[in-house]
Amino acid sequence: MASSRKPRSASVPAAVRRAIEGLRSKRFLVGLSGGVDSVVLLHALAAEGIALRAVHVHHGLSPNADQWARFCRRLCRRLGVPLAVRRVRVAKRNEASAREARYAAFGKLKFDVLALAHQLDDQAETVLLNLLRGAGPRGASGMPARGTIGGRELLRPLLEVPREAIVAYARENDLQWVEDESNASDLFSRNFLRLRIAPLLTARYPRWREALARAAGHFARRDTDARALLREFLSAQGMRAPSEAKLVEMLKQFSSGAPGTLIEHEGAQLRVYRGSLVVERAKAAGAFQAFAWRGERRLALPALGGELRFSRARGAGIDPKWLKDGALQVRLRSGGERLQPDVRRPRRTLKNLFQEAGVPAWQRKKLPLLYRGAELVWAPGLGVDQRYAASEKTSGWVPEWRVSC
């Protein structure tokens, strides 16, 4: 157990007051480990005269765990703050499992606002660890100063306060705290950064923590902007925005860049293809049956979710001579087709042409194609094969595939 004398620090109470502004009528719950950060946060919040209680999560991972719980009880009695001690089982002896157990315990208690004592050093270490693990923008944004947990408020009032200021506050107020003996071991990744890497960074870049925290803020704003853009996109598509949790998960999956990423929402399928978000809605049920095209101007194809339209244009489209006796059929691709839409280029596989045109693989199997026997005459987005194209002096039939909204 450590204690100290007094210096000076006004940054702690100032940060706490800013954080709880507009929330003073709420019921606060403080996560109290017994370490200096949580002790200082509890003391500073207690001084604000708000409805406050604390929770100490007993992980049972340290031989000193019972002593820490007793310390937290004594501290809370002295401050007049009700305390709940919750014993949990941790699946694995690592930081992630312990954190999951803590948050599960928090979620079972009654509160409006959960206040946690993460500070500037924690934020800088989190960002650095996430970057070293190859995290994307969301991981690089670190921990939010304000968020939600189970639909309730989550605050980190000390997130911009360095550890030195927190220790100074503890000394000024004659506070005691406990030291977790595992913090002295560099076997854990976070401790390795704190004990080995941080001193080197501080020697060369004294304000590296502030710089990383500032970068985290930039990434967090970018993440917020991305969520707003996704909401706007879904609204423009006539879909309601999902819950905040699902919205974050959607962005996480889309930004991963994993091929074939598909998310179901509001009866539609959302995918990323070549950097663009593509929406596919469920189409009318029913199997598509091939049939002959005999010169109709419009052909509704509900099984494929759209309509074929035909217009006349001089020197473009399909030569009318190929329409005789129902020679042209509307069918789906069967594989191996080849097409030559440009006289200056050789006949190529339909697969290569679709890839070049940026047509997603999942859409290709639902596109209506025009055939003459086994030969492909026309494909949406690609054009007419040169063997069937109208001459410059002929008024040809120009097909167009329109997807229903």
In this predicted structure, the answer to whether residue 153 has a pLDDT above a threshold of 50 is yes
Closest C-alpha to 293, from 333, 327, 337: 327
Closest C-alpha to 56, from 38, 80, 40: 38
Residue 335 lies in a domain: yes
By CB neighbour count within 10 A (0-12 exposed, 13-18 middle, 19+ buried), where does 211 fall?
middle
Listed residues 253, 281, 309: the one ending a domain: 281
Cβ neighbours of residue 15 under 8 Å, at least 6 residues apart? 157, 158, 160, 161
pLDDT band at 37 (very low <50, low <70, confident <90, very high): very high
CA 210/CA 195 separation, integer angstroms: 18
Mapping DSSP to helix (H, G, I), strand (E, B) and coil, where does residue 355 land?
A: helix
Positive or negative, the CA dihedral 362, 368, 370, 374 is positive
Mapping DSSP to helix (H, G, I), strand (E, B) and coil, where does residue 404 land?
A: coil
User: Residues 6, 110: one domain?
Assistant: yes
Range of 399's domain?
A: 291-403
Q: Which of 73-87, 206-220, 245-259, 360-374 has the highest mean pLDDT?
A: 73-87
pLDDT in tens, 360-379: 777 888 899 999 998 999 99
Residue 286 lies in a domain: no
Residue 79 lies in a domain: yes
Residue 293 parent element (H or E): strand 291-293
Mapping DSSP to helix (H, G, I), strand (E, B) and coil, where does residue 3 land?
A: strand
Number of domains comprising the chain = 3
